[in-house]
Amino acid sequence: MPLKSLFLDFNSYFASVEQQINPELRNNPVGVLPVIADTTCCIAASYDAKAYGVKTETMVLEAKRLCPGMLFVEANHKTYIQYHQRLVDKVNECLPVNKVHSIDEMVCNLIGNESKRENAISIALLIKKKIREEVG
């Protein structure tokens, strides 16, 4: 059965962008906060933080309990928007973006040979490679 679309979801998006722009955060559990305060919650958690049970909406005090070495950064939405545009541009080089659902989700329609499962997987892997090599 032919596929109709390719859905891209950049998980842990804000935390991943923070780790990209600040190499000291890489391979460390990171929580992105609206403001640096113990009374708020994580609006994003890195994959490293998720391994400890920290997720979006986890309160900072709980995150510190679950993961004592966790690092926290204040959200920088302007940077996330800039990275979003770079990601859309890279995806568009491989397959036209049909719809942007959010800052970290987009859909591309598949037509013709693109709709064959093996071709869609190849396109998805190409997009992933391009983003890893050219955006980070």
The per-residue pLDDT for range 55-103, each reduced to its tens digit, is 999 999 999 999 999 999 999 999 999 999 999 999 999 999 999 999 9
* SS3 of the chain: helix, strand, coil, percent, to 5: 45, 20, 35
One-letter amino acid at 5 equals: S
Q: Residue 47's pLDDT band (boundaries 50, 70, 90)?
A: very high
Residue 135: its pLDDT value, please? 87
Which amino acids are annotated catalytic? 105
Mention the CATH class of domain 13-75: alpha beta
Where exactly are the structural domains of the chain?
5-9+78-134, 13-75
pLDDT of residue 59: 98
